[in-house]
Every structure is written in C-alpha cells, then in structure tokens.
Amino acid sequence: MKTSFNTRRPLWLVLALFILVTGCTSNTAKPIASSDDGFDFQPEENPDRFESFNRKVFAFNLSMDRWILKPIAQSYRWLAPQAVEAGVSNFFRNLGEIKNVTNDLLQGKWQQAGNDSGRFLLNSTVGLAGVFDVATNAGLKKNQSEDFGQTLAIWGVPRGPYLMLPFLGPTTARAGIALPADWVLSPMNEVTPVTPRYAMVATEFIQARAQLLDFEDLASGDLYLFVRDAYLQQREYLVNDGKIQDNFGDGDFGDDDFGDEEFDPDFDF
C-alpha cells in the first residue's frame, strides 16, 4: 500500500550509516519497487543482476572504511566540540541548497525552489556562510535533498540495475549517470587552488561519517542486503517525496520498525 514514510530516527540513521560506510562519501530480501515515471512503482524481479560483482566491491568499501575512514572520523569526533560538528554539518548542507534549487526547478517544484532559495540566501549571509541555520527559525523549512537522479526519474528515465561502486558506494544506473550533473552544481568546484577544494570534500565525508558513529551496532544480518534494500527504498522515498511502496512489511523491517515520528529532512543520505 502507499504510505507516508514516517519512521523512528534510529532506523533511518542506521540505513544512512551503512550507505555512507560503503560509499566512503550504508534472509532473502523482497524485490524493490521500480519506477518508469517517478510515481507508479512496479515490482522488478531482479534489481541486483550484478550481485556477485557488487558484493566484492562492497567488501572492499567496508575494508576502506574500517581501516581509513572510521578511525579518522573517531579522531575528528574526539577533537571537535559538538558545536563545531553542528556548524560544519550546517555549512555543507547550505552548499547543497544550490543543487536542491536547480533540481526543484527542473522538477517543477516552484514553491519548494523558492523556499530553498530563501534558505540559501539567508543562511549564506546572516548565517555566516551557512554555519548557523537561521533560515529554519525564520520559517523556511528544511526540505529533502534533491538531485539530478530524482529529476531523471520524474522525467521518465528507468532506474536500471543496482550497482555498488568502489569508493562511491551504492547507486543505480539512473542515479549513477546523474552524478556528474550534481558534481557540476557543487560550489566547491569553484574553490581554487585544488588543495583547499579537496580538503573541503574530505571534511564533508569525515563529518558525515562522524555523525553516525553512535549507531553502528544497530544493524545485523547480511549487511550487503541491508544496504542494498535500504538504498533502493531510500531512493524511492526521495523520488516520490515521501510516498513509497511498503515492501518491508513481511521482511526484516516489519511494521514494528515504523513509528509516528516524522522523518527529519535535515538528515541527508
């Protein structure tokens, strides 16, 4: 059935954790719904036709996280005060508003584009380059992250097979071909010379990983299937603006995993 996707935060923090872990940038599962037009999802027999290859890449990404990214994130968490972490997170979210606004317009979400534009302008000025989120207190709500992969879905591009990429983590054919467009929209591309730019990218990854250190022990079972299903369900959620096909009802994520608390759009997968 179609349902509004309201979940307890811990569940979705875990899903985000393993998507980020396997991206260095989260029993047999039921097939995940697919979309040709961005709204009418139909079952797909095998969304993971390259599972053998994907599992090998997944293992590689986990090793990279275990030996490199996680220790760095732990050191960052130990050194940085909580207020600094919050400011860094706000800064990168504010940079992402440019991508959000562009895709809002491409998807015809005019009101959301106006809201996100206002957030970027207010936080970039009064909020000191986005370090402080003054826009929320001013009544400009945080919307979900938008990207060109979602735009392609709205335009009718089929999702294609699920892929696990080295370093980049989980994606689909549709989301993968959209990545260059999102990269072009990143303000960090304008930072010169390249050393500060790479430092900003690294800081963004480390900050995202550090936010999830407290939730690592909340997942169990086959982590590959966990990440795959979480990613595909999360993408479906984003494409349909919170209206998704509930395919976890009889699987590992039963109705007991879902509560009445609203999903926090501040957490960007």
Mean pLDDT, each 10-residue run in order, the chain (269 residues)? 37 50 41 41 71 96 93 93 91 95 97 98 96 96 94 96 94 95 89 86 88 76 90 92 60 43 42
Contact 164, 170 (CB under 8 A): yes
- Residue among 175, 193, 179 at smallest CA distance from 232: 175
Q: What is the pLDDT of residue 66?
A: 92
Q: 127-159 burial by CB neighbour count: b if 16+ within 10 A, else e? A: beebbbbbbbeeebebbbbbbbbbbbbbeebeb
Count of CB atoms situated within 10 Å of the CB of 200: 16
Q: What is the pLDDT of residue 245?
A: 57
Q: What is the pLDDT of residue 38?
A: 42
What pTM did the predictor assign?
0.73
DSSP state of 28: P
Q: What is the pLDDT of residue 249?
A: 46
Task: Write the pLDDT tens digit of every residue in 185-226.
Answer: 988 888 878 888 889 988 988 988 888 888 777 667 888 998
Contact 97, 120 (CB under 8 A): yes
Q: What is the pLDDT of residue 217?
A: 73
Between strands 2-4 and 162-165, the pairing is unpaired
Q: What is the pLDDT of residue 253?
A: 44
Contact 269, 19 (CB under 8 A): yes
Mapped onto helix, strand or coil, the DSSP state of residue 221 is coil
Q: What is the pLDDT of residue 17?
A: 55
Q: End-to-end alpha-carbon separation of the chain, Å?
A: 24
Token readout for 221 is 């079972």
Q: What is the pLDDT of residue 18?
A: 53
The radius of gyration of the chain from alpha carbons, rounded to an integer in Å, stands at: 18
Contact 4, 242 (CB under 8 A): yes
Q: What is the pLDDT of residue 192?
A: 79
Cα–Cα distance for residue pair 188/47, rounded to 1 Å: 33
Contact 94, 142 (CB under 8 A): no
Helices assigned H by DSSP within the chain: 9-21, 51-64, 70-79, 82-106, 110-125, 134-137, 148-154, 173-184, 194-210, 223-239
Q: What is the pLDDT of residue 246?
A: 54
